[in-house]
Amino acid sequence: MWSGKYERFGFVRSSPLSFYSDPDRKMESFEQNLRYAGQYFDNETGLHFNTFRFYDPQIGRFIMPDPIGLLGGMNLYQYAPNPLVWIDPWGLAASGDYKEMPVMPGFQKHHNIPQSMANHPAIISSGYDINNSQNITQLPSSKTAIEQNPERTVHRGGHNKAYDSYISNELDKIHANNASPEIKRMQIQALSDDVGNRPRTKQIKLNNAC
Per-residue pLDDT of 92-134, as tens digits, reads 445 566 777 777 788 888 899 999 999 999 999 999 999 888 8
**Helix, strand, or coil (residue 168):** helix
Nearest to 159 by CA among 207, 210, 109, 197: 207
What 3-state DSSP class applies to 104? coil
Q: Please, which residues have CB within 8 angstroms of residue 187's CB and are 6 or more apart in sequence?
A: 174, 177, 179
The larger pLDDT score, comparing residue 39 to residue 5, is at 39
Q: What is the pLDDT of residue 108?
A: 86
Residue 91 reports pLDDT greater than 50: no
Quick one: CA torsion of 49, 55, 56, 59, rounded to 10 degrees?
-160
**pLDDT-based confidence at residue 11 (cuts at 50, 70, 90):** confident
DSSP state of 86: -
pLDDT at 171: 97
Measure the N-to-C terminal CA separation of the chain; round to a whole number of Å: 39
pLDDT at 196 over 60: yes
User: Residue 73 and residue 96: Cα distance in Å, rounded?
Assistant: 17
Count Cα atoms within 13 angstroms, Cβ side, for 150. 2
In this predicted structure, what is the pLDDT of residue 71?
Answer: 64
Mean pLDDT of the chain: 80
pLDDT in the model for residue 119: 94
Question: pTM of this prediction?
Answer: 0.56
Report which of residues 83 and 187 the model is more confident about: 187
The domain ranges of the chain are: 1-80, 87-210
Summarize pLDDT for 132-154 with one digit per residue, the tens: 888 988 888 888 988 888 888 88
